[in-house]
Structure 1
Amino acid sequence: MTAQTVAAPTAVPRVRFYDVYSADGTRLRAWSNDAEGPTVLLCNGLGTNPYAWPALLSPGCGVRVISWNHRGVGGSERPADRDRISMDDFVDDAIAVLDDAGVDSCVVMGWSMGVNVSFELATLHPERVEGLLAVAGVPGDTFSTMLGPFHVPAPVARTLTVGSAWAMLATGKALSVVTKRLPWNPVTTRLLRHSGFMLPAASDAVVREAVREFLTTDIDWYMRLAVHAARHPRVSLSHIEVPTTFVSGHWDVLAGARSMGTAAERMADARVVELRGSHFLPMEYPDEIHAELLGLLARTSHTSIE
């Protein structure tokens, strides 16, 4: 295992990156905030990076976060078999990060498609999961819940969004030429924050760094990840009994708040919080999500967390 500590961008502390190998031999770029406190595994949003989580990158956040960058993203290598990017592969990656850190079980949090990974992990390896925090994501069949604020019927939403992903996959190489040359300065950052896709509550500095990192990924590879993730069906919740918190965004067009609420209704110990935000809640409401994470830890065996 090799390790590297990099200087943090403005507004966020340092992050330690290191290499972990998944079950099929794929090298993953894992990372940790190296803070003191109970360990939490973060299953991040598809193609996203540590800098989207400013509240969890503070040394005093009270939680040790371990996570990884997805296959082919942010220093993680693409698998030898380019189709080894299914939800089962992502679960194997999560297990590899846990095993490398010497963690038998912990609270698992997910954002966006990372919610799919966290619930699949809880289904396949329930002994590794002590609690679940789902941020702006649903436990499977995600594309059917998209466009929620527009009240688009689920079959239509799935057809439109999956079709768009395939179209962007086909044009991804050309799009990457453009996106990698976009100037992420205060002007373009503010335009994104006021676009409606993301809301102004997010910090300029945090958004700029998170988006800059995101755009280092080739669009065609990102869309290849997305269309594979779209095949993940809804997870059965009947056997998931750990404390769970869902945090949804009222204006989220990528993971329906209503679907998160109905998922919580099918679980024995689930809490639902709806924030007046978009899909990018970790950047828009970092303190509120941090508080919900500490509250979830208090509902598990970590009763000393305040």
Structure 2
Amino acid sequence: METFTHAGMVFDVTDIAPESGGETAETVVLLHGFPEDRHSWAAIAAELAAAGYRVLAPDLRGYSPGARPAARSAYALDRLAGDVLALADAAGVRTFHVAGHDWGASLAWQLAAVHPDRVESVAALSVPHPMAFARAMVTSSQALRSWYMLACQLPWIPEFVLSLRGGRMIGRGLVQAGLDRESADRYAARAADRHAMRGPVNWYRGLPFDMRRPMGRVRVPTLYVWGTGDSYIARDGAERTRAYVTGPYRFVALDGASHWLPECESGRIAPLLIEHLAAARTSAGDVHPAP
């Protein structure tokens, strides 16, 4: 499968067959963040396939050229979650594991909290549970680290600024935050087209719609990985996340790692994910009461 269609939109997707297991293999859905794309997961996806998992990695709403609605409300997390469920349906998958980074982590939290009947386990990279993040905004330096979220509420200006000098400004900022040059250059090339950046920036503009519906606790097996060198996410929110998970939970503070875990820490992340997926399989029969 190279594309799937949902709500009149066409999404690009990477679909990697497992090296073993065939039709009985479990499926892992990988969700990218801002300003990334599905290729940010390439190294990790290969390791998961080698370990016997089918891997689905889509270019999400706002990123796939055929899926760029203009309305801010189209980027609320419940709408975005619908895209992922539609992907699973198109792939013939009833239940799946989900892993997400950055905004993809927020979406993974949403899926796990609201659709535990579809999600077998969740792995969140960098971004904590949204309720833990909200608490950290008033108890730590998180608000200062997240100033850009407010700036992104403005119309057209963020896209214009990101496109300046052919996207080189955002590329330089990404490298300063720990991203490798090759990935930064690829994302900067997209940022040079301010029309292509409207969808990605709209994920931030959808935040007011998410704030109306506080997210519940997560009951499925959960792995949360945060880099101690993350420029965007403070430790406070990372450590508060435990309070919002009632199922099996593992928190890993990855020493010295930046925000960009899929691209720059694949060698450490892939084994953690594979271990997490195996542990989720052994706990599949556990029942965790609703909060």
Query: What amino acid sits opposite 1:272 in the alignment?
Result: F
Where does residue 152 of structure 1 map in the other structure?
141
Change (3 A) 1:106 1:222: closer
Which sections of structure 1, spanning at least 5 residues, go unmatched?
Answer: 4-17
- Give 1 or 2: higher helix fraction: 2
Is the Cα contact below 8 Å between 1:70 and 1:76 reproduced in 2?
no
Residue 33 (structure 1) aligned to one of 16, 36, 57 = 16
CA distance in 1 between counterparts of 2:107 and 2:186 reads 25
Question: Residue deviations 1:109-157, cap 9 Å, x none?
Answer: 1111112211211222211111110101122255775799xx4265x66
TM-score normalised by length of structure 1: 0.75
Where does residue 178 of structure 2 map in the other structure?
198
Asked whether 1:162 is paired with 2:142, we answer no
Query: What amino acid sits opposite 1:164 in the alignment?
Result: A
CA distance in 1 between counterparts of 2:106 and 2:279 reads 22
Per the TM alignment, residue 57 of structure 1 is displaced from its structure 2 partner at its CA by 4.0
Where does residue 174 of structure 1 map in the other structure?
160
Per the TM alignment, residue 32 of structure 1 is displaced from its structure 2 partner at its CA by 2.2
CA distance in 2 between counterparts of 1:216 and 1:171 reads 13
CA distance in 2 between counterparts of 1:225 and 1:236 reads 20
Residue 87 (structure 1) aligned to one of 71, 77, 96 = 77
Change (3 A) 1:192 1:96: closer
Matches within 5 A, 1:110-125: 110-125=100-115
Question: Residue deviations 1:154-191, cap 9 Å, x none?
Answer: 5x666x34322224x4414533542546499xxx77x8
Where does residue 8 of structure 1 map in the other structure?
none
Per the TM alignment, residue 269 of structure 1 is displaced from its structure 2 partner at its CA by 1.2
Where does residue 235 of structure 1 map in the other structure?
215
Is the Cα contact below 8 Å between 2:61 and 2:67 reproduced in 1?
yes
Where does residue 22 of structure 2 map in the other structure?
none
Where does residue 273 of structure 1 map in the other structure?
252
Residue 43 (structure 1) aligned to one of 31, 41, 44 = 31
Question: Residue deviations 1:47-105, cap 9 Å, x none?
Answer: 42122224224375423221221223132322375632211110100001100111111
Asked whether 1:105 is paired with 2:72, we answer no
Which sections of structure 2, spanning at least 5 residues, go unmatched?
Answer: 20-24, 284-291
Query: What amino acid sits opposite 1:294 in the alignment?
Result: I
Question: Residue deviations 1:217-257, cap 9 Å, x none?
Answer: 634443222121354245221xx322111000112233333
Q: Over aligned residue pairs, what C-alpha RMSD do you find?
A: 3.2
Other structure's SS at 1:126 match = coil
Is the Cα contact below 8 Å between 1:52 and 1:210 reproduced in 2?
no
Query: What amino acid sits opposite 1:20 in the alignment?
Result: F
Is the Cα contact below 8 Å between 1:39 and 1:106 reproduced in 2?
yes
TM-score normalised by length of structure 2: 0.78
Number of residues of Structure 1 aligned to a counterpart in Structure 2: 270
CA distance in 1 between counterparts of 2:159 and 2:186 reads 23
Change (3 A) 1:46 1:145: farther
Query: What amino acid sits opposite 1:39 in the alignment?
Result: T
Query: What amino acid sits opposite 1:72 in the alignment?
Result: G
Residue 134 (structure 1) aligned to one of 124, 140, 148 = 124
Asked whether 1:283 is paired with 2:246, we answer no
CA distance in 2 between counterparts of 1:66 and 1:118 reads 14
- Percent identity between matched residues is 20
Per the TM alignment, residue 212 of structure 1 is displaced from its structure 2 partner at its CA by 4.0
Is the Cα contact below 8 Å between 1:72 and 1:79 reproduced in 2?
yes
Change (3 A) 1:176 1:252: closer
Greater CA deviation, 40-49 or 222-231?
Answer: 222-231
